Amino acid sequence: MKKAKVVFISTPALGNLVPTIEFAKDLTQTNQNFSATILLISIPQRPLVQSYNDFLAAAAATGNVHFLSLPTADPPSLDQFDATIGFLSLLIQNHTSQVKDALVNLISDSGSGQVVGFFIDMFCTPFIDAAKELNIPCYLYFASPATFLSFMCHLPTLDAQVSINTEFKDSATHFNILGFSNPVPVNIFPSFMLNRKIDGYSWFLHHARRYKETKGIVVNTFQELEPYCLNSLVKAAADVVPPVYPIGPVLDHNGPAQWHQDLWGHENVMKWLDNQDPSSVVFLSFGSMGSLNISQVKEIAKGLEKSGHPFLWAIREAPKDKRELPNDYTNLEEILPYGFLEATKGRGLICGLVPQVTILAHKAIGGFVSHCGWNSILESLYYGVPIGTWPIYAEQHLNAFEMVKELKLAVEITMDYRDGNTLVLSEEVANGVKNLMDGDGEVRQRFKTMSEKCKEVWKENGSSSVFLGQLIDKLLAVI
């Protein structure tokens, strides 16, 4: 069989970049005739992401996966955007010529095979034009759930339903959204939907309108997890949603332990966990981009003390600049209630950013209070750790709604939290932790069953294996 090349590019954010790379590995390992090149966008404003980029570039190649750092483009200035997605979208758009040049070079290197596919992610739609110009089939790699893909595909329709000068919250309390079996409350709409006048909303709408121009969409999910939504997407008109390939869960089982500077003593965290009883510890983490204000941190601390459960809590400080990521706190005494550290000594441990997947895999973890980023949800499912929902930004509120209401696979601690506008009180935190760790046997049983299913999908004739085979056939059909 002839050799073939596939090219990938991702938004320079860990939640997008990591699953893109892991999918490229899965594709090239499944069919050895494929090689993959990952185009990396530099982002000095986010040292955590840049250190991962640097690690990948230094690695040069992993099997048939190669990494290519693109020449740096001018970053947007602060007065060019309102929201983080505005900054990222402009940064990506500024790399258009660099991406086209890289594709031209890969095409001209015919010795390693024909370029049969170019995979962009949800915010890299400017590169669809380069793929068209160079006659390369362009696919969307979607690292969020099928429900959010459905929401995005439905967004142009939703936008047309409501007067341009009206906010969604002023138009209705619920909307019927493609892919959801329940009406979706406006108060759990993604953060970018809260103000239609800022560039965050206009950028999401712009990207959503372009998805239909791709040859197909690969979603990091599996048929058994989101059957209603995936079936809805299949039935949707072709000019709304291209063919969808649910190929997941795609996970990085190593996590950042191999490339992230170990500021918090990962070994000490693991030793502490080793001394805890099986399934006894509740783990609280809000992702690499998640942070909470000090008032909320204090309420969580009081709630954890009241709950009586052992806990491992990753706390991060809000960034000073919209272009940056949160940082680890340097002085915990300043932000925690007086006496909290002493009162919970031995029962709890506070840390900064830790390799989440390694923590979830540990036998001592019995529950996960999560921001409901999709990668985190998939990791929890794979390792069988029940979830308590605490969404913060982006599409996480929709993810929490899906897990609690649509799939009944998670315990609700909060579902409509908006930092600075809402406060989850200590009693709610304590009750939520107790319910997650001790309560709702039905949710735990459903979660356990789905956890078992997510390991079956990659076996021979498993749903994800079958869809990956179909995608490979489509990629090779152009040769």
Asked if residue 254 is part of any domain, the answer here is no
Query: Same structural domain for residues 411 and 390?
Result: yes
Tell me the residue type at 287. G
**pLDDT value, residue 324:** 61
Closest CA to 414 of 280, 307, 286: 286
Query: Same structural domain for residues 312 and 224?
Result: no
Closest CA to 429 of 307, 291, 332, 261: 307
Query: Same structural domain for residues 223 and 292?
Result: no
Q: State the Cα–Cα distance between residues 432 and 281, nearest whole angstrom.
A: 14
Select the more confidently predicted residue: 235 or 320.
235
Asked if residue 270 is part of any domain, the answer here is yes
Q: Is the pLDDT of residue 343 over 80?
A: yes
Q: Cβ(25)–Cβ(62) under 8 Å?
A: yes
Asked if residue 54 is part of any domain, the answer here is yes
Asked if residue 124 is part of any domain, the answer here is yes
Concatenating the DSSP letter of every residue in 151-168 gives: HHHHHHHHHHHS-TTS-H
Torsion of CA 78, 79, 82, 86, to 10 degrees: -70
Query: Same structural domain for residues 265 and 211?
Result: no
Query: Same structural domain for residues 267 and 348?
Result: yes
* pLDDT > 70 fraction of the chain, expressed in percent and rounded: 93
pLDDT tier, 334 (very low <50, low <70, confident <90, very high otherwise):
confident
Tokens coding 459: 């076996």
Asked if residue 416 is part of any domain, the answer here is yes
**pLDDT value, residue 60:** 61
**pLDDT value, residue 112:** 78
- Number of folded domains in the chain? 2
Angle subtended by helix axes 374-383 and 441-456, to nearest 10 = 90
Query: Same structural domain for residues 191 and 62?
Result: yes
The answer, as to whether pTM is greater than 0.75, is yes
* CA-only gyration radius of the chain, Å: 22
The contacts of residue 95 (CB under 8 Å, 6+ apart) are 41, 70, 73
Bridge partners (DSSP) of residue 282 are: 311, 367
- Please calculate the CA angle 113-27-32 and round it to the nearest 5 degrees: 50
Query: Same structural domain for residues 337 and 239?
Result: no
Helix (H/G/I), strand (E/B), else coil: 255: helix
**pLDDT value, residue 265:** 67
The CATH number linked to 373 is: 3.40.50.2000
Q: Cβ(286)–Cβ(414) under 8 Å?
A: no
**pLDDT value, residue 17:** 94
Report how far Cα 466 is from the mean position of its chain's Cα atoms.
24
Which of 130-139, 140-149, 228-237, 248-257 has the least mean pLDDT?
A: 248-257
Query: Same structural domain for residues 27 and 169?
Result: yes
Query: Same structural domain for residues 305 and 340?
Result: yes
pLDDT, one tens digit per residue, over 426-440 is 999 999 999 999 876
**pLDDT value, residue 80:** 86
Write out the residue range of the structural domain in which residue 82 sits: 4-249+458-477
Q: Is the pLDDT of residue 242 over 80?
A: yes
pLDDT tier, 63 (very low <50, low <70, confident <90, very high otherwise):
confident
Q: Cβ(256)–Cβ(54) under 8 Å?
A: no
Helix (H/G/I), strand (E/B), else coil: 241: coil
Asked if residue 255 is part of any domain, the answer here is no
pLDDT tier, 56 (very low <50, low <70, confident <90, very high otherwise):
confident
pLDDT tier, 425 (very low <50, low <70, confident <90, very high otherwise):
very high
pLDDT tier, 96 (very low <50, low <70, confident <90, very high otherwise):
very high
**pLDDT value, residue 322:** 58
pLDDT tier, 261 (very low <50, low <70, confident <90, very high otherwise):
low
**pLDDT value, residue 237:** 79
Asked if residue 165 is part of any domain, the answer here is yes
Q: Is the pLDDT of residue 135 over 90?
A: yes
Q: Where are the beta strands (DSSP E) in 286-441?
A: 311-314, 316-317, 327-328, 348-351, 365-370, 387-389, 410-412
**pLDDT value, residue 2:** 80
Q: Is the pLDDT of residue 62 over 80?
A: no
Select the more confidently predicted residue: 413 or 82.
413
**pLDDT value, residue 82:** 85
pLDDT, one tens digit per residue, over 377-420 is 999 999 999 999 999 988 999 999 999 999 999 999 999 898 76
Which of 161-175, 223-237, 287-301 has the least mean pLDDT?
A: 287-301
Query: Same structural domain for residues 240 and 267?
Result: no
Mean pLDDT, the chain, whole residue set: 91
Q: Is the pLDDT of residue 294 over 80?
A: yes
Query: Same structural domain for residues 363 and 420?
Result: yes
Which of 88-102, 118-132, 290-304, 460-474 has the least mean pLDDT?
A: 290-304
Asked if residue 334 is part of any domain, the answer here is yes
Closest CA to 252 of 369, 98, 361: 361
* Residue 39, φ and ψ in degrees, nearest 5: -90, 125
Query: Same structural domain for residues 225 and 305?
Result: no
**pLDDT value, residue 316:** 83
